[in-house]
């Protein structure tokens, strides 16, 4: 938050520090330069298209999970557009073909249903099938693509080698916020189960969940894994992180509205866990706040709650050096990814403004929301 005047920011707002975003992109690009791999922005994690021109200077394109995401990437970044969905909506598919360069199918039945349409289109579209290695190291089932009875990807027992003709690649995704040692162990399972089919492919997509821009991430091990795959199978390698692009680049700036008492101090904020940072409740996790500590670590402890009528709209318990009072600003860290793409207007609570900061531009308010944004999505 160096050099940023909090008093000039609307509250609440998502603030993206373009200086930090650029550092992340440079790190990701270094992996591309060392390996020749292609790194894509997974729009499901971060779809802030006002910074797509910056991201497009470094990454190869986007990966999408719906028609709207594909169109957004096509129109706002204008580079490669990859698509994957557990099942494609038939009425969307013809339009999707206009935007996509790669399409990954979740089942052989989906591939067989749409492959003639792909062949008939005037543009060159490469297709792949998603496989499920039935191996993951994720503790939270909500984010585990390979948990028991998962609907995501084709398991080995359901794989149809005789229906691979026309397919260009295989795709797997079994990671979430993990380091390259997890990828290394996962690749052993993928090779054991699907290695003979990788040899027949043009490319292999390693999916997302690679926390490449985290400080303790072992980039050398990732590079070694990519080069190993390229050398052994003679395939192009794709990675599609979402979180790694925006990791630690953004904040949610909020204001204390009131302090109430019920067995402890409770601060009501002008933001909301359920509306503005839903992963706090879904994951769940406790976001860090600048200059705050764990409960009772610092002299004054508060439970921070949102301004909706949902009883569980609680962000967590935090301690502070000084008592909180109405008007105080709180800065939640790492709020760029899985916030803007997942937020909503429950209770008619307005969305946070979207703001960027760069030394050359200063504070720039990109978007503010109003009643029409709320009423326009209702009937």
Average of per-residue pLDDT values in the chain: 97
pTM: 0.95
Summarize the confidence of residues 322-329 as an average pLDDT: 98
pLDDT (tens digit per residue) in 85-144:
999 999 999 999 999 999 999 999 999 999 999 999 999 999 999 999 999 999 888 899
CA distance 183 to 175: 8
pLDDT in tens, 153-197: 999 999 999 999 999 999 999 999 999 999 999 999 999 999 999
Given a cut of 70, whether residue 2 has pLDDT beyond it is: no
pLDDT digits (tens, 9 = 90+) for 225-280: 999 999 999 999 999 999 999 999 999 999 999 999 999 999 999 999 999 999 99
Please, which pLDDT band fits residue 212 given cuts at 50, 70 and 90? very high
Q: How far from 4 is each of 51, 269, 322, 357, 364, CA to CA, in Å? A: 19, 21, 22, 8, 11
Query: Residues 6 or more apart from 146 whose CB is under 8 A from it?
Result: 132, 133, 134, 135, 136, 138, 152, 153, 174
Do residues 95 and 113 make contact, with C-beta atoms less than 8 angstroms apart? no
CB 279 within 8 A of CB 79: no
Q: Cβ of 258: how many Cβ atoms within 10 Å?
A: 12
- Alpha-carbon gap, residue 209 to 42, rounded angstroms: 10
Q: What is the pLDDT of residues 107-122, one digit of tens each?
A: 999 999 999 999 999 9
pLDDT at 377 over 80: yes
What is the pLDDT at residue 5? Answer: 86
pLDDT at 226: 98
* Res. 3 pLDDT band, cuts 50 70 90: confident
Residues 44-59 have a mean pLDDT of: 98
């Amino acid at each position: 938050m160096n050099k940023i005047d909090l008093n000039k920011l609307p509250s609440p707002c998502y603030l993206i520090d373009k200086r930090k975003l650029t550092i992340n992109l440079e790190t990701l690009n270094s992996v591309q330069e060392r390996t020749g791999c292609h790194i894509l922005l997974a729009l499901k994690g971060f779809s802030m298209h006002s910074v797509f021109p910056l991201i497009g200077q470094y990454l190869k394109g986007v990966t999408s999970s719906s028609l709207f995401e594909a169109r957004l990437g096509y129109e706002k970044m204008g580079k490669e557009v990859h698509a994957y969905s557990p099942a494609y909506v038939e009425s969307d598919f013809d339009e999707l073909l206009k935007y996509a360069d790669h399409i990954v199918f979740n089942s052989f039945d989906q591939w067989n249903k749409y492959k003639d349409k792909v062949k008939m289109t005037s543009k060159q579209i490469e297709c792949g099938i998603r496989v499920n290695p039935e191996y993951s190291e994720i503790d939270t089932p909500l984010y585990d693509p390979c948990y028991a009875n998962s609907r995501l990807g084709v398991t080995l027992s359901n794989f149809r080698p005789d229906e691979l003709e026309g397919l260009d690649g295989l795709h797997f995704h079994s990671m979430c916020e993990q380091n390259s040692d997890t990828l290394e162990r996962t690749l052993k399972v993928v090779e054991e189960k699907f290695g003979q089919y990788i040899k027949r492919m043009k490319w292999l997509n390693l999916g997302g969940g690679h926390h490449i821009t985290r400080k303790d991430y072992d980039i050398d091990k990732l590079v070694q894994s990519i080069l190993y795959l390229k050398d052994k199978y003679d395939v192009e390698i794709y990675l599609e992180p979402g979180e790694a692009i925006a990791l630690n680049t953004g904040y949610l700036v909020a204001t204390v509205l009131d302090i109430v008492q019920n067995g402890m101090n409770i601060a009501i904020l002008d933001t909301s866990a359920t509306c503005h940072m839903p992963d706090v409740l879904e994951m769940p996790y406790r976001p860090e706040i600048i200059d705050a500590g764990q409960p009772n670590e610092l002299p004054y402890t508060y439970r921070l709650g949102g301004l909706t009528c949902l009883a569980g709209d609680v962000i967590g318990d935090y301690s502070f050096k000084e008592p909180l009072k109405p008007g105080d600003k709180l800065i939640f860290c790492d709020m760029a990814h899985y916030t803007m793409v997942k937020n909503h207007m429950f209770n008619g609570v307005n969305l946070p403004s979207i703001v960027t900061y760069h030394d050359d531009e200063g504070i720039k308010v990109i978007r503010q929301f109003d009643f029409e944004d709320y009423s326009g999505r209702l009937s």
